[in-house]
Chains A and B, each alone.
Chain A
C-alpha cells in the first residue's frame, strides 16, 4: 500500500502447524473433495455411509496418522490428527465426519493408551487398516454427562465377564466390530467401580438399533442392548476400577477434536455463504454489498478467528503435554456454540434457499446443533471451568 512501511505478508501458517502439516492438509482436502463431498447428499438421504469408507481411508493412511509405523500407522502425532479433524469437517456431512472421527479419535485412543500389547495388536492394528470399526460406549439412557450414574454391569464369570445393560447415542454402534464400553465391575457406586471392556459385537446378546436424529443423518447412532454378553478376561482395558480415569483421559482429545472440527466447519459454511452473498442479487446489488450483511459476515469472521485462536492455543498446550484442561474446555465451549450460531446466521443470509435441503445450509445448522450437547454439554463445560476457579 502506498505510504505504508514495507510489510510483506508471508504465508500465514498459524502455530502449531508447519509446512509438513499443510502437505497433509492438501492431500486430505483432495480426498474429502473427491471422495466424500460428491456423496454427502446421498449418504444423508440414506441415513448411512458405506462401511467401505473405513478400509479406503485406512489404505490412504488416514486412520493411523498418529500411530507408530510398526502398528501400521504413519508415525505422526496429535497435530496430524488435528489436521484430519479439521479437514473431515469440510465434507458437507457432519454425520460422516462423526462416524470416522468416533473411530479414529474417540474409540481407538483408549485402547492405544491403556491397552496391552495383545489388545493393541488385536484392535488398534485392524482399526488403523480400517478392517475393524470401533465405537465407544459410555452414555446410557439414564447416564449422560453424569458418568457416575452408569448402570451397565459386568459380573465376574469363569474366564471373564458377563455384561448386562444399555448404551445410548453410540456413534458407529450398529456397524461397529468392537465396542469400548464403560461398565460397572465393582460394588462401589459413583466414580469408583467403573471399568472398561472391549466388547466384540459379534458376541451373542449384543443388539444395536439405529436412532433417528435432528441432524448427523449419515451417521450410525445406536441404542445398544447388552444381554448376557460374554467378554473374555483379556478384554479388560486398563485396570479394573480405573474406568473413570480412562473416560477423563479420553475427553480431552475428544473435545479438542470437536473444537477443531467446529472451527473448520464454521470456516467452510462461512466461505460457501460468502460466495452466495456475492452472487445473489436483491434491490439491484449483490446482497453481500448491503452493510447489514457485510457486518454479519464481519461478526462471523471475528467469531471464527477468536475460536480458532483459542482452539489452537489449547492444541499447542495439549500437544506439549502441558495441562490443558481449562483451555480445552474453553475451546470446546466457545467453538460449539459459535459454530451453531455461525451456521444459523448463514442460513439467514441464504434466506429461502437456506431453508431448502438442496443447498445444504439447513443441514449445517442441524449438524452444528449437536456441538453444545455432545462430548459434554455446555453446562458441564461451565461446571468444569467454574470449579477450576474455585467456585
Chain B
C-alpha cells in the first residue's frame, strides 16, 4: 500500500566515484539494476540489520514471530513485484531478487525462507491463476502481512516425484463441494499460515492432467497441524506435517483450472527456484565476507591466517564461484523479466548456486577452524541452513534431470 517513493527513505549512495579507478568493493551494480533497485536494497538491508538480525539467535530457538510479516507488509516488502491494484509496489521481477538477496542480512536462513514461501511460492500462483475474488480475499491481505500463506506439494511419500502425490479431492455433487483427504509434509509456514495453496489429485486416472490446486483456509474443519518438524538447520522457520481429514471446500476454492494443477505448480517452481538461487548467492557472499574478516583478524604462526597463500587462494576460488553463480542468476532473471520461460537456465542457476553455497559454507567453516565448529560464530548455522538448498525446491538430481532432458537426453 506504500508507494515505492515512500519506501526509499534512505539517501542515495555516493556514486560519484571515478569508474576507472579500481574498486574492489562489492558495490558494482549489474546492468539489470537501476538506482531505484539500489535504494531499495539499502532500505531492506537497513531493516534486516536493525530489526531482524538482533533477534536471529533467539528466533533459532523459538522460530520467528508472525509480527515479522505484519511489519514487512507495513514497509511494503511483501509485494515488491506485485501489481499495485492488490497493494503491491508494482516493481519488476528484479525487486524480488533484491529482497531475496538482502534478507540474508537478517542472519537467519529460516526467516528468509519463511518470507520467500509467502511472497515467491504461494503468492505467485494465486496472482497468475486466481480469480479476482481469490486475489482480493488472499493476495491483498497477504501483501499487507495480515494473512500468511504456505504451499503444499510434498507428501510423506511424494517429494521430487510430484506426480506421485496422493492427497485427493473428491467432488460432492450434493453440496458442490470438494472433500479433501491426505497429508502434506515439510510445509514451511505450515503452523502459522492462514491459507495453504494445496496440490491435490482430482482424477487419479488422468495422469498429469488429474491434478488440481485448491486454496484451503487453514482453519477449515479437518485441517490438522500435526508436528512441528525438527531439522538440521533453518531452525527459525516453522515446518509442519499436515493432515487433511474430510476437509470440505467449495468449488470456488479451485485455483486455476481443474486438471491443470500439475502444470500450474511446475510454473510456480520456476520462480521459486530462481529466488532460491539468488538467496544462495547472497548467503554465500555473506559467509565469505564474514570469513575474510575473521581471516584477517585471526593470527597463527605470526601472521593473519588470511595472509597465508593457501587461505588467499581458497578465498579467490570461493569469490570466483560466487560471482559466476551471481551472474548466472542475474542473466537468467534478465531472460525471465524479458518474457522468456527459461526452465533450463533456471534449473542451472538453482543447481549451481546451491552447490556453490554449500561448498562455500563448508570452506568457510574450515578457514574458521575450531571457531567455525562453535555455535557462537554463526558459521556452522550458515552451513546447516545452506545444506537445504541442494534438496529443497527440487534436489540437485532433479535439476540435473530437467537440464539433461532439455537437450533431448
- Residue numbers of A with Cβ under 8 A of B are 1-5, 7-10, 12, 14-15, 274, 277-278, 288-289, 291, 293-295, 297-299, 301-303, 305-307, 309-310, 312-313, 316-317, 320-323, 325-327, 330, 333-334, 379, 381-391
Q: Which residue of B lies closest to A286 (CB)?
A: B409
A288-B409, A322-B19 known; A7 vs B311 contact (CB < 8 Å): no
With A294-B409, A334-B321, A391-B307 as contacts: A309 and B339 at CB distance below 8 Å: no
How far apart are the CA atoms of A100 and B330 in the complex, in Å? 33
Nearest 7 pairs between A and B by C-beta?
A: A3-B263, A386-B312, A294-B404, A7-B341, A3-B260, A298-B403, A385-B316
Query: How many angstroms between the C-alpha atoms of A289 and B409 in the bound complex?
Result: 5
Binds A, one of B42-50, B244-252, B345-353: B345-353
Q: Is B149 an interface residue (CB 8 A)?
A: no
Q: A5-B128, A10-B339 are in contact. Are A297 and B316 (CB under 8 A)?
A: no
Of the candidates B260, B338, B409, which one forms a contact with A277 in the assembled complex, judged by CB atoms under 8 Å apart?
B409
A-B contact pairs, 30 of them (CB 8 A): A4-B263, A4-B266, A5-B267, A8-B340, A9-B339, A12-B342, A274-B407, A288-B408, A289-B409, A298-B401, A298-B403, A298-B404, A299-B400, A306-B325, A310-B324, A310-B328, A313-B30, A313-B323, A321-B20, A323-B22, A330-B323, A385-B315, A388-B24, A389-B316, A390-B296, A390-B306, A391-B292, A391-B295, A391-B306, A391-B307
B residues 387-409 in Cβ contact with A at 8 Å = 397, 399-405, 407-409
Q: Do A4 and B312 have beta carbons less than 8 Å apart?
A: no
Partner among A289, A305, A309 whose Cβ is within 8 Å of the Cβ of B330: A309
The distance from the CB of A3 to the nearest CB of chain B, in whole angstroms, is 3
Shortest Cβ gap from B26 to chain A (Å): 10
A302/B340 in contact, CB under 8 A: no
A288 to chain B, nearest CB (A): 4
Q: Report chain A residues within 8 Å CB of B401.
A: 291, 294-295, 298
Given A5-B128, A302-B348, A309-B328, decide whether A391 and B340 contact each other with a Cβ distance below 8 A. no
Shortest distance from the beta carbon of B46 to any chain A beta carbon, whole Å = 25
Q: Give the docked Cα–Cα distance between A130 and B267 (Å).
A: 53
CA distance A221 to B20 in the complex (A): 35
The answer to whether B323 and A295 touch across the interface, beta carbons within 8 angstroms, is no
Specify which chain A residues have a CB less than 8 angstroms from the CB of B328 in the assembled complex.
305-306, 309-310
Q: How large is the interface on B (under 10, 10 to 19, 20 to 34, 35 or more residues)?
A: 35 or more
Q: Does B256 contact A (CB under 8 A)?
A: yes
Residues of A with C-beta under 8 A to B344: 301
Q: Which residues of B contact A7 (CB under 8 A)?
A: 339-341
Contact B260 A12 (CB under 8 A): no
A9 contacts which chain B residues (CB < 8 A)?
A: 339-342
Contact A309 B324 (CB under 8 A): yes
Query: What 9 additional pairs, Cβ within 8 angstroms, besides A333-B320, A389-B24, A390-B292?
Result: A2-B263, A8-B340, A278-B409, A306-B328, A320-B19, A321-B20, A322-B28, A385-B320, A387-B312
Task: Name the interface residues of B352-409: CB closer than 8 Å to any CB of A.
Answer: 352, 397, 399-405, 407-409
A-B contact count (CB 8 A): 170
Interface of B is mostly: helix
State whether A389 touches B409 (Cβ < 8 A).
no
Alpha-carbon gap, A314 to B267, bound state (A): 32
The answer to whether A391 touches B403, judged by C-beta atoms less than 8 angstroms apart, is: no
Q: In the complex, what's the smallest C-beta–C-beta distance from B337 to chain A, in angstroms?
A: 12
Q: How far is the CB of B270 from chain A (nearest CB, A)?
A: 9
Minimum CB–CB distance from A24 to chain B (whole Å) comes to 22
| Chain A residue, CB-CB nearest to B293 | A390
Chain B proximity of A355: nearest CB distance (Å): 23
Closest to B313 in A: A382
A71: min CB distance to chain B, Å: 25
Contacts of A299 in B (CB 8 A): 400
Cα separation A207 to B20 with both chains bound (whole Å): 41
Question: Measured between alpha carbons, how far is A8 from B262 in the docked complex, in Å?
Answer: 20
Cβ–Cβ < 8 Å partners of B409 in chain A: 274, 277-278, 288-289, 293-294, 297
What B residues does A317 contact at CB under 8 A?
A: 28
Q: Known: A274-B407, A321-B20. Is A391-B315 also a contact (CB below 8 A)?
A: yes
Q: What is the CA–CA distance of A384 and B403 in the complex, to the nearest angstrom?
A: 34
- How many angstroms between the C-alpha atoms of A228 and B156 in the bound complex? 81
Given A294-B409, A299-B400, decide whether A389 and B267 contact each other with a Cβ distance below 8 A.
Answer: no
A302 touches B351 (CB 8 A): yes
B324: contacting residue among A10, A307, A379, A383, CB under 8 A = A307
Asked if B264 lies at the interface with its beta carbon under 8 angstroms from chain A, I say yes
In angstroms, Cα B23 to Cα A333, docked, is: 20
Chain A residues whose CB sits within 8 angstroms of the CB of B348 once the complex forms:
301-302, 305-306
Residues facing A in B43-61 (CB within 8 A) are none
- Contact call A295/B23, Cβ cutoff below 8 A: no
Bound-complex Cα distance A383 to B320 (A): 12
- Distance (Å) between the CB of B160 and the closest chain A CB? 14
Q: How far is the CA of A67 from the CA of B151 in the complex (A)?
A: 57
Instruction: Provide the bound-state CA to CA distance between A309 and B321, in Å.
Output: 12
